Structure 1
Amino acid sequence: MPRLTVGTKNVLYPLQKTLAVGSCKPEQVPIRSLASVVESSSKILDKSGSDREVDINVSEKIYKWTKAGIEQGKEHFKVGGNKVYFPKARIILLRPNAKHTPYQAKFIVPKSFNKLDLRDYLYHIYGLRAMNITTQLLHGKFNRMNLQTTRFREPQIKKMTIEMEEPFIWPEEPRPDENSFWDSTTPDNMEKYREERLNCLGSDANKPGTAFDGVVGPYERVAQPFIPRFLKREIDNKRERHAAELQRADKLIALNRYIEDLH
């Protein structure tokens, strides 16, 4: 019978997990319940089997370093070695969603940014301590300029949410009657008018517009007089023949002037 690995034993016997400790014999570690707290030592022997202990509680170390840095008024993290004097990254602060607390802030960052870059950027430029950072990378949406062109995928948007020491509450938005620059009615109607004109193909070209309450058009066609088909064709043919005769006369006049200039 083949020997079972540690991962296989953990799957077959979920009540007891086997912890491999180097050259020592496997040690049976009981599984704790979700509500319990580990009171035993969080240290294990290294692979060489010596008495040197390796601390595995990294989160506790990070907490102590962060607390000491805040109490001393210094950085609560390890500062990077590269010095950037003129950062070119564009960081956009967004209004919080309904799920965000006053202790959270959301930013749009470049896709090349990581959590450490944002933490360093906010601390050294604004003096803001970012305690915990989560990242969200939105997929690129499909878009097209109009119905006659192929669709393309827009670039991805990277967002980061941080947790702060002190709460920050956004000021209330001013009403349109208080600040005319805050009124978005005109830009929204302009965008609606552009989309309607780009997407009007075929019979939709005569559809009345909805932007600006239909004031700028296109307007609904009024009743037209009835013209029989044969009469319309006859009028169109006369118009085309007359236009061709005018064009031929213009060419003859231009040719006559050219001959006179030569003599």
Structure 2
Amino acid sequence: MLTIENARVDMGDFTLSADLHVNRGERVAVLGPSGAGKSTLLAMIAGFQPLARGVIRWHGKVLPDDPADRPISMVFQDNNLFPHLSVAQNVGLGLRPDLRLTPEDRRRVDAALKRVGLVGKEDRKPAQLSGGQIARVALARVLLRDRPLLLLDEPFDALGPALRAEMLRLVAELVAETGATLLMVSHNPEDARRLADRVILVEGGQAHAPVPTTEIFENPPDALRDYLGG
């Protein structure tokens, strides 16, 4: 279980507070207006944004200060690929940052690329890929990292509806296979409906406790109703 206890981050004139928990293996969408702090919540969990107060625990243990030591993989909106590296090298970074891959490492990279449908694209550079293929590279790297917490910060925002739905299906499959706990920031309520067990609403400087997806859309709070435009 991920537990955020009375936590707050201060960023100049912006403050975000959270006091909530996410169950192991849950798929949780993070929704809210632009600038409300959705990405800040993920940065808080990942360790990129220091806490002004409070604590974050995973299975009862306080998460270490160094983001690299946290049991977390994160995919950003730009998918964070290195343009000068090949697809296989970008994925291999999930195993070894120095890219000194053993034969077994290379087999694992090949297996991850096969799992996300990128066989034959190993030697291409990111500039030679479509938006959907770039997203698949980022997911393959996450698959190799094999961390129990997966944070997605709008990685499919630039994709069209059909490809976006395809990527959400792939994420659902990968999370089910690995047992990872998922938190996904999105501007699209349909993403939450398709994928999430519960929804965290972020607004007014507060990340609210998760609510079942069906419940929050059937009886949305005022802030979500305003955000949805109805």
TM-score by length of 2: 0.21
Rg comparison, structure with higher value: 1
Report which of the two has the higher share of strand: 2
TM-score by length of 1: 0.19
